[in-house]
Structure 1
Amino acid sequence: MDCNTKDVPIQFLLWQILNAQRQKAIQWLENVDMKPGQAGCLFILSKYGTLSQKEIAEKLGVKPPSMTVLLRKLEKKNFVIRMQDENDQRISRIYLTEEGKAYIDQIKEMMREMDREMFEGILPEEKMLFRRLLIQIRENLISKEGLQDYEAQMKKECISDWSR
């Protein structure tokens, strides 16, 4: 980097870190022929169990036609199966297959590896302090006017069991 790092705004450093992390994740997913939305779908199913196509689309924030394409690709890979709802034949329920569950474990391992890379050379107590500071910053931001809905949504959708 050409400029003095002490002069770089923290927001820009955070953006760079998030962007680098996202690029690494996309690269890893591409190496195993997976798109981020597909991985997100698998995570949602691992968290909530069986959901309708519409429910998954809402949680991913995608339009139903995009969801149809995404699910077809996951079905082709045998990561999910579709079955008619027992009570309402108009609704298809999406289930995670054993292969899908195993793939989730691979994604979790990739996330753990990325965590190890990110915190290489950082002491455990420094990592704990960093986490505490990030939580405080997040709380500062979402406690401001107009972000309460975001806070509620974030807590509702938080996938905190990725390390299991």
Structure 2
Amino acid sequence: MDAYDLITSGAQIRKLITKYVEPIMQEYGLRPVELDILEFITRENLTTSKEIMLRRHISKSHISKSLDHLLEKGFINMTEDENDHRIMRITLTQDSYKVISRVNDVYEQCKDVLLRGISDEEMHIFRKVIHKMNNNVDEELLM
């Protein structure tokens, strides 16, 4: 596999996900980065914009704009931290959980498509390789 094949396979997966997620984003008026933030808050139990920025490698301005939009749309609440008033804590609303549930269903559909015909042994190797690749990307982005 050459570099082009590796990069474009990631793009193909992105297209598949977008095909299924796009109707949900349109229905709720969300952008991909906002959906990513909601999903990440749920999975990682993050509660501040700084945590999201550091863990997701999203710029501060993107996060700020996205959080403002999510707040305006009623998908999150923001409250001052009890101990440090400079910190705003993010909590998800019931509406955000509805969106996340639908997106997770889509992710399961995409997973089924991607893993069709792949053996348990191949999956084991794939998990190890993906883990190493993600670590490589994280290290590179933190430089």
Please tell me the TM-score bracket, short chain as reference: 0.7 to 0.9
Match of 2:110 in 1: 114
Give distance in 2, aligned partners of 1:134 and 1:93.
36
Give CA-to-partner distance per residue, 1:71-126, whole Å, 9 cap, x none. Answer: 11212222111111111122111111111122111111001111222334x2xxx4
Shift of 1:139: 6.7
TM-score by length of 1: 0.67
Query: What residue in structure 1 maps to residue 20 of structure 2?
Result: 28
Greater relative contact order (Cα 8 A, min sep 6): structure 1 or 2? 2
2:59 corresponds to which of 54, 59, 63:
63
Distance 1:82 1:106, change over 3 A: same
Distance 1:91 1:50 in 2: 13
Q: Equivalences for 1:84-95 in 2 at 5 Å?
A: 84-95=80-91
SS in 2 for 1:93: strand
Please, which runs of 5 or more residues in structure 2 have no aligned partner?
none
Which of structures 1 and 2 has the bigger CA Rg? Answer: 1
SS of residue paired to 1:62: coil
- Determine if the alignment matches structure 1 residue 18 to structure 2 residue 14: no
Q: C-alpha distance in 1, partners of 2:33/2:39?
A: 10
Higher helix share: 2
Q: TM-score, normalised by structure 2?
A: 0.75
Q: Is the 8 A contact 2:75 2:94 kept in 1?
A: yes
Q: Show structure 1 runs of 4+ deviating over 6 A.
A: 139-143
What is the Cα deviation at residue 38 of structure 1? 1.4
2:75 is aligned with 1:83: no
Instruction: Determine the C-alpha separation between the residues in 1 that align with 2:42 and 2:110.
Output: 21
Structure 1 residue ranges without an equivalent (≥5): 1-8, 154-164
Establish whether residue 73 from structure 1 lines up as the match of residue 73 from structure 2.
no
